[in-house]
Amino acid sequence: MHMIAAAIILAIILSGALGVLLLMRQAAAVRTQSERVPAALGGQISLEEHKRAAAYTLARTRLGIAKTIFDTILTVLWLVFLLGPLYSLVAVFVVPGILRSVAVVLAFALAERLLHLPFSVASTFWLETKFGFNRQTPLMFVRDRIKGAALSLALGVPLLCALFLLPQLSPSYWWLAAWAGFAALALAMSVIIPAFIAPMFNKFTPMPEGPLKERIEALLARCGFESKGLYVMDASRRSSHGNAYFAGFGRAKRIVFFDTLLQNHAPDEILSILAHELGHYKLGHIRQRMAEAAVLAFFGFAILGFAFADGGFANAFGLPPDPALILIVVSAAMGPALHLLSPLTSHLSRRAEYQADSFAKAMTGPAPLISALIRLARDNLSTLTPDALYARFYYSHPPVSARIARLKAA
């Protein structure tokens, strides 16, 4: 086997093995600590609830292990055995050029989606149903998939055409233009998604008038915010998991509360969660995350620029140097690199969470946020005893007990 090909395959297998190892550590940590509620949360979460959270986390972790093994094997199979025949099959129907490249990526994406469908089905209709979270019917599930696929086609096809056309216009510098275009598009999408795409999947209604809205508006005013753009989303149609988020920027920004969150939390807790979200906005975390994505994308496009010109990535696997195949091989090769970066991106995310917690503490005091975090952990069956290394790698939010400890500290 070609050296580059062997190196890529090895990296994919090692990355998959690392993922499985970390998931196994997480399972072991949760299992061995399932009989006793951590001291910091004793009295606030019952042993029964703690055991149930452990069972849920274990089931999710096992599904994660199966998925990681499946993904790793499938990626290697694609690279070594399947991409060539897939390309030949598409070549029978589509003439060479940009159209064929686009068709190859679409065929690959369709096959990937179908092959991963059993995991989505198992997650929704076995795992989430077993633990009482799922409220989706099979019909809703199918409708969501069809809408999602239609949306990917409508957005993806023009983007793929541009990606394959640009190198023909400027073979050396196309990737810089593509990166600039990508950054502009990401910025536009942060407005387009909440305003146009999210409403295709959920209903957003303005927050109803009443004492809660008045208190929310008072908090927004205290933080120097306009009170426009407060919405309630009918998340309860699909799942009973509760959440709140902030979307868009400038005049298009909006704050979205899941109806499940409003139903399950006391007004003080809702205000503290809002204060946390406002903290993310005030402290520039949304901009920071966009900047992180832009830096990653810069390197991604630079590598693609090199790979398109060189063709070596496809050659290494005995594939024709079609840009579609190069794109797929490069994406697969970048997977392990991104996996190794996850401790860094997770760390940055957790740091932002602590900062937003501090902001909320300054605005509403620590008590309502602490009780909100405990209630969220209880309602979402979050584990209170994650493995430290696993959490360091993948947790975008610090473990609940760590957040509460920080909030209690002076």
The 10 Å Cβ neighbour count of residue 166 is: 19
**Which is closer to Zn ion, CB of 322 or CB of 357?**
357
**Which is closer to Zn ion, CB of 128 or CB of 353?**
353
Count Cα atoms within 13 angstroms, Cβ side, for 257.
Answer: 28
In angstroms, give the least distance from the CB of 273 to Zn ion.
Answer: 9
Look at residue 231 and give its three-state secondary structure: strand
In angstroms, give the least distance from the CB of 358 to Zn ion.
Answer: 12
- Using the structure block, give the residue that is written with the tokens 């086997």: 1
**Which is closer to Zn ion, CB of 34 or CB of 380?**
380
- Using the structure block, give the residue that is written with the tokens 């092959």: 115
Binding segment toward Zn ion, per CB under 5 A, in 165-173, 228-236, 331-339, 348-356? 348-356
Q: If residue 60 lies in a helix (H) or strand (E), which one and from where to where?
A: helix 47-77
In angstroms, give the least distance from the CB of 276 to Zn ion.
Answer: 5
Binding track over 276-305 against Zn ion, x by CB under 5 A:
------------------------------
Calculate the CA 101 to chain-centre distance. 27
Contacts of 388 (CB under 8 A, 6+ apart): 29
**Which is closer to Zn ion, CB of 178 or CB of 356?**
356
**Which is closer to Zn ion, CB of 59 or CB of 270?**
270
Binding segment toward Zn ion, per CB under 5 A, in 86-94, 101-109, 318-326, 354-362? 354-362
In angstroms, give the least distance from the CB of 347 to Zn ion.
Answer: 15
Cα–Cα distance, 187 to 394 (Å, whole number) = 25
Cα–Cα distance, 51 to 36 (Å, whole number) = 8
In angstroms, give the least distance from the CB of 293 to Zn ion.
Answer: 17
Binding track over 356-385 against Zn ion, x by CB under 5 A:
x-----------------------------
373-379 own/partner pairs: CB under 8 Å, 24+ apart: 373/400, 373/403, 373/404, 373/407, 374/41, 374/44, 374/45, 374/400, 374/404, 375/264, 375/265, 375/269, 376/242, 376/400, 377/45, 377/53, 378/45, 378/49, 378/53, 379/240, 379/241, 379/242, 379/264
Residue 10 burial (10 A CB sphere; 0-12, 13-18, 19+): exposed
Written as six digits, the tokens of 158 are 């023009």
Binding segment toward Zn ion, per CB under 5 A, in 40-48, 151-159, 249-257, 355-363? 355-363
Cα–Cα distance, 318 to 307 (Å, whole number) = 15
Contacts of 235 (CB under 8 A, 6+ apart): 202, 241, 242, 243, 258, 259, 260, 261
Binding segment toward Zn ion, per CB under 5 A, in 63-71, 233-241, 330-338, 349-357? 349-357
In angstroms, give the least distance from the CB of 280 to Zn ion.
Answer: 6
**Which is closer to Zn ion, CB of 71 or CB of 357?**
357
Cα–Cα distance, 93 to 299 (Å, whole number) = 34
Binding segment toward Zn ion, per CB under 5 A, in 108-116, 289-297, 314-322, 350-358? 350-358
Binding segment toward Zn ion, per CB under 5 A, in 48-56, 198-206, 291-299, 351-359? 351-359
Distances (CA, A) of 315 to 84, 95, 311: 11, 21, 6
The DSSP output letter for 208 is: P
In angstroms, give the least distance from the CB of 356 to Zn ion.
Answer: 5
**Which is closer to Zn ion, CB of 326 or CB of 356?**
356
In angstroms, give the least distance from the CB of 289 to Zn ion.
Answer: 11
**Which is closer to Zn ion, CB of 65 or CB of 360?**
360
Q: What is the size of the binding site for Zn ion (CB under 5 A)?
A: 2
Residues with a catalytic annotation lie at 277, 357
Query: Which residues contact Zn ion by CB under 5 A?
Result: 353, 356
